[in-house]
Amino acid sequence: MNATVLPVRSAGGWQRRLSNLMYTRRGILLLALLAPPLLWFGVVYLGSLFALLAHAFFGLDDFTGQIRYEFTLRNFVDLLEPANVDVAVRSVTMATLVTLSCTVLAFPLAYYMARYCSGPQKAFFYVAVMLPLWSSYLVRLYAWKMLLAKEGAISWLAQALHLQWLLELILSTPAIGGPSLSFSTLGTFIVFVYMWLPFMVLPIQAALERIPPSYLEASSDLGGRPGMTFRRIVLPLALPGIAAGSIFTFSLTLGDYIIPQVIGDSTMYIGQVVYKQQGVAGNLPFAAAFALVPIVVIGVYLWLARRLGAFDAL
């Protein structure tokens, strides 16, 4: 037998000592891996957020327009002005409707992807859902502007199908209508739904994928008709996915200030008010106070979702 014994690497060299140290003290390795993201999250993200929120409790000097670093609740009193309440209510209503529509549109697609697709077909659907995210948000937005415009593709199609009366009827409906789709609340809504749909499809699809087929078979075996199986098994188990998706669609809609500026009548949403106050008006404290509104709304929403058991199946 020709036994060649590999020489044990002699202890020495700082690399060796370092790797030994990391092997014996796992905490050091963990710290080294987690420190950069934690610093980024803690200092840059949370730090800037708290700095912004702290501004909500300062005021603006009426004469100089400079920020006065004195504690005041005046911004919050101003928030309760009817015009501002109006903006908040409109934004939350829009976010809610967008979220509901995204859920209804995304669920069948996600269900099909999770239950019936495999191989190339599944890849096709993944790409189809995510493809819009590969191009710029602004490009897609202006593409929709062209689709929805008075001389755009949709009104051309309505004309070709002799359905112009239907389009006019919709546009003449108060609250959602306007001179053309691109200048209507309905247009804003359509584009919001389009923009955030992928963020709803993917979490629901992931949640549905985790449900073993045997659960559905067991339900059916025990006498559950398809509707019952859907209500009692599929929906409760998909709820964490729906909740995750709705956090995306809801908060993205609440915070956006570009879509309603490009498409829609000139009514304001929270994002636009924050943008204008801190930019044109230079009233950073009031902008900060208004920025608190979506944070509070989403906090309440998450608390409610938890109370209703949306995360029980996690």
Partner 1 sequence: MTAAVRLDRVSCVFGSAGREVRAVDGVDLRIEAGEFFTLLGPSGSGKTTCLRLIGGFQLPTDGRIWIGGQDMSHTPPYARPVNTVFQDYALFPHMNIRDNVAYGLMVRKIDRVTRHRKADELLELVELSGVAERRPGQLSGGQRQRVALARALINQPQVLLLDEPLGALDLKLREQMQAELKALQRRLGITFLFITHDQHEALSMSDRIGVFNRGKLEQVGTPQEVYNAPATRFVAHFVGAANVLDGDIAWQLTGRRSATVRPERIRLGKSEGARASGLVQEIQYFGAFTRLRVQVQALQLQVDLQSQEGALAPDAGSTVHLHWDDGAVTELAPEPAG
Shortest CB 37 distance to partner 1, Å: 30
- Shorter beta-carbon distance to partner 1: residue 168 or 217: 217
**One symbol per residue from 228 to 247: x for binding partner 1 (CB under 8 A), - otherwise; what is it?**
x---xx--xx----------
Residue 122 CB contacts under 8 Å (≥ 6 apart), including other chains: 113
- Shorter beta-carbon distance to partner 1: residue 65 or 212: 212
Q: Decide if residue 4 touches partner 1 (CB under 8 A).
A: no
Size of the site for partner 1 (CB under 8 A): 19
Three-class SS string for 144-209? HHHHHCCCCHHHHHHHHCCCHHHHHHHHCCCCCCCCCHHHCHHHHHHHHHHHHHHHHHHHHHHHHH
Q: How far is CA 26 from the centre of its chain?
A: 36
- Shorter beta-carbon distance to partner 1: residue 77 or 218: 218
Structure tokens at 74: 């005046």
Which parts of 236-295 interact with partner 1 (CB under 8 A)?
236-237
Indicate which single residue of 9, 162, 225, 307 sits in contact with partner 1 (rule: CB under 8 A).
225
Shortest CB 232 distance to partner 1, Å: 7
What one-letter code names the amino acid at 271?
A: G
- Shorter beta-carbon distance to partner 1: residue 12 or 223: 223
- Crossing angle of helices 137-148 and 153-160, rounded to 10°: 30
Shortest CB 225 distance to partner 1, Å: 5
Burial class (CB in 10 A: 0-12, 13-18, 19+), 90: middle
Residue 228 CB contacts under 8 Å (≥ 6 apart), including other chains: 219
- Shorter beta-carbon distance to partner 1: residue 13 or 226: 226
- Shorter beta-carbon distance to partner 1: residue 87 or 310: 310
Answer whether 233's CB lies under 8 Å from 211's CB: yes
Shortest CB 184 distance to partner 1, Å: 42
Which parts of 165-224 interact with partner 1 (CB under 8 A)?
212, 214-215, 217-224
- Shorter beta-carbon distance to partner 1: residue 149 or 238: 238
Q: Decide if residue 313 touches partner 1 (CB under 8 A).
A: yes
Contact set with partner 1 (CB under 8 A): 212, 214-215, 217-225, 228, 232-233, 236-237, 312-313
